[in-house]
Amino acid sequence: MSDSTCNMITGTGSFIPDRRVPNTDFISREFYDPRGHKLEKDNREIIDKFLEITTIAERRYVKDGVNTSDIGYWAGKAAIEAAGIDRETLDYIIVAHNFGDVTSCGGHTDIVPSLAARVKHKLGISNPETVAYDMIFGCPGWLEALIQANYFLRSGDARRALVIGADVLSRISDPHDRDGMIYADGAGAVVLEAKACEKPKGVLAHKTRSDTLDHSQMLYMGPSYHAENGHAEALYLKMHGRKLYQYALETVPQALKACLEKSGVPLSEIKKVLIHQANGKMDDAILKRLFELHGEEQVPEGIMPMTISWLGNSSVATLPTLLDLIVKGKLEGEQLQEGDAILFASVGAGMTVRALVYRM
């Protein structure tokens, strides 16, 4: 890539399901512990504590008959339309997800053909040189896909890429596990294009941390906590919540600091920190620690827009959805202008931390 070319996000899109699921929907739910023992605490107490810890008041679920590839297609289509490009000119379609198309009855993953191939088919793209593949990388999957797209464009062999993040977590969430209240469904997408530029813009730098030796089982798949639930062979998403929280606080701020140093952009120039939203209180703590690492005691008000209270944790979809809402003026009080620097961050299964600095 020449000094006069930058890889820019030229279009964004998202799909937010209409079905709202407030915390009160879990009042009549029976919760069990990992040993299969029913929790003795009253559900109201469990839900109130959940809200206090995560800041999640509601989440969105897709309707029956709607799959991950469907919502990925809708988000991708919106991004293409926003970019104003001919979809046949796309060089790559990369779809980040974690569970493929999971049917309404849940418990089974369908990833053949790849979701990217399904999205390309739904888009009606006939160009055989539009390469479509999937990215499974935990919650940082969309960020990893964006970084790979950036490298393809930097190579000079590609000019445009559609990068999608989509997950339907409601169908792999154990209804008897209180941690399952975190999960939500959604999709977000961007078009990344190589553009002529006079100053460095677009993707400036990225940083990765991978801790599989000691933490690969922090998030894992396992049977329902209630043996009588659903299909005996079905597996559901499980996590060691407290350990994950501590891991994030110990590793994410350092990764973000390293990414900023690599980019040459000082923290004081960061307009927005767009972070994967799995736990509101955890994200607040990560941001505070990042500023402390830079010798700053005060975190600027409004620097970290949040959607988790009403969208929940939609994994790979949280970052592109958040970006789309801001770019299109759909998040009250939030905006981005040309020249603004953004710090993207995500942590998830693996365990893996991803960070990226982007200038509008």
| Each residue's pLDDT tens digit, 286-303 | 999 999 999 998 999 999
- Give the angle 92-93-95 at the CA atoms, nearest 5°: 140
Q: How confident is the model at residue 83 (pLDDT cuts 50, 70, 90)?
A: very high
pTM comes to 0.96
CA dist 282 and 347 (Å) reads: 11
User: What tokens appear for 310 in the block?
Assistant: 């009403």
261/220 same-domain check: yes
Which of 137, 168, 196 represents a domain boundary (last residue)? 196
135/230 same-domain check: no
Percent of the chain with pLDDT over 70: 97
pLDDT score, position 189:
99
- The tens digit of pLDDT for each residue in 95-129 reads 999 999 998 776 678 999 999 999 999 999 999 99
178/233 same-domain check: no
53/168 same-domain check: yes
Which of 162, 196, 230 represents a domain boundary (last residue)? 196
- The tens digit of pLDDT for each residue in 177-229 reads 999 999 999 999 999 999 999 899 999 999 999 999 999 998 998 988 987 65
302/157 same-domain check: no
pLDDT score, position 230:
52
* 97 within 8 A of 68, measured Cβ to Cβ: yes
* 12 within 8 A of 77, measured Cβ to Cβ: no
Query: Among all chains, which residue has been given the structure tokens 């970006």?
Result: 323
CA dist 166 and 172 (Å) reads: 14
161/263 same-domain check: no
216/327 same-domain check: yes
316 pLDDT more than 50: yes
187/108 same-domain check: yes
Mean pLDDT of the chain: 94
* 96 within 8 A of 135, measured Cβ to Cβ: yes
CATH of the domain at 157: 3.40.47.10
156/223 same-domain check: no
Residue range of the domain that includes 9: 5-196
> What is the rounded radius of gyration, in angstroms, for the C-alpha atoms of the chain?
20
229/165 same-domain check: no
213/184 same-domain check: no
Give the count of domains, the chain: 2
Which of 145, 167, 196 represents a domain boundary (last residue)? 196
| Residue 265: φ, ψ to 5° | -95, 120
176/294 same-domain check: no
Cα separation values, 209 from 45, 170, 267, 351, Å: 37, 28, 20, 8
Q: Work out whether strand 219-222 and strand 185-196 pair parallel, antiparallel, or are unpaired.
A: unpaired
